[in-house]
Amino acid sequence: MIRYASRRLLAAIPLLFVVPLLVFALIELAPGDPAVVLAGDEPTPERVEAIREELNLNAPVLVRYAMWVGDVLRGDLGTSFLSDQTVIELLTRRMATTMSLVLVAMIFAVVLGATLALVATLRSGGIVDRFVNGLASIAIAIPGFWFGLVLASVFAVGLQMFPAFGYQPLADGFWPWLSHLVLPGIALGLLPAAEVTLQLRSALGQVMKSDYVLNAEAKGLSRSSVVFKHSLKNACIPVVTVLGFRVAEVLAGSVTIEMIYNMPGLGRTAIEAVQGRDIPVLLGFVLFSTTVVVLVNLIVDISYGYFNPKVRS
């Protein structure tokens, strides 16, 4: 299993450098000039040219990319064009917000999705089963940003049960930290929760038709015992695969949710970097996001080996 995980990790390393290269190319094709933004109002051509020379913006794309890769290998992600802060310092300060949001969203998705799928399986073919499948299908079609606005309007502005915006670090207390993450976490976790529900319900339906399950039921075992002891582990195989993709989607969706709830996270940082043409910060965000996705996929692969013995062999 260790050898398998090592091969998967080595195969994913090139992705960490290919994605930033694509971002370099897209930045080069995008309209606008970072030097003009930094030069302020009514900049002179000499001022703009001096900034371009200072930031090496006149160098070819591949040369700038090679310089950036060299700095990354030395542990230097550069300095923000707009704030003069190091990219590592900027990302580290805002990383906790985004990772807390992603964590809450994924916990909500797994707990709610697995619960609904198990309830539907235990009431297979009945009204509850049809209701759960219909509810999950509707949830997939609901945009996360719209659902986030609805939650904020009802539970924050109307009922005043949770804060409408902002973020409190965990050091300030568990409840202040969690209360600021409940609404954005639910909005962000709605789609993966619905997908987990449908995937696990479908997988359990197929497993329940297997010969060994039918044999267990023929021996007189209760349906709950058959589901939890004999079916659930095998049914988790496709769900584990889906969760790896969902983490990437949740990380991307956090950009919109952080803007709605005014949370100082990496998503908001990425938006500000795009608007201000802050190339080092944008590349740092892309590198961080790609690293998280690679690590999550590696964890999913290892978990997949636990649920599927064929992978371990």
Question: Domains along the chain?
Answer: 103-261+291-312 (1.10.3720)
Q: Which residues of the chain have pLDDT under 50?
A: none
If we measure between CA atoms, which residue out of 123, 117, 97 comes closest to residue 188?
97
List the structure tokens of 3: 């050898």
CA angle 281, 287, 290 (to 5 degrees): 140
pLDDT at 5: 64
pLDDT at 184: 93
Number of helical H runs and strand E runs in the chain: 15, 0
pLDDT at 312: 54
pLDDT at 294: 80
Contact 58, 66 (CB under 8 A): no
CA–CA separation, 284 vs 77, rounded Å?
6
pLDDT at 107: 92
Taking only the tens place, the pLDDT of each residue in 94-130 is 888 999 999 999 999 999 998 998 888 877 778 888 8
pLDDT at 307: 61
If we measure between CA atoms, which residue out of 67, 74, 93 comes closest to residue 279?
67
Taking only the tens place, the pLDDT of each residue in 274-295 is 877 788 888 888 888 888 888 8
pLDDT at 223: 66
Gyration radius of the chain's alpha carbons: 24
CA–CA separation, 172 vs 174, rounded Å?
7
262: left (phi over 0), alpha (psi -120 to 50) or beta: left
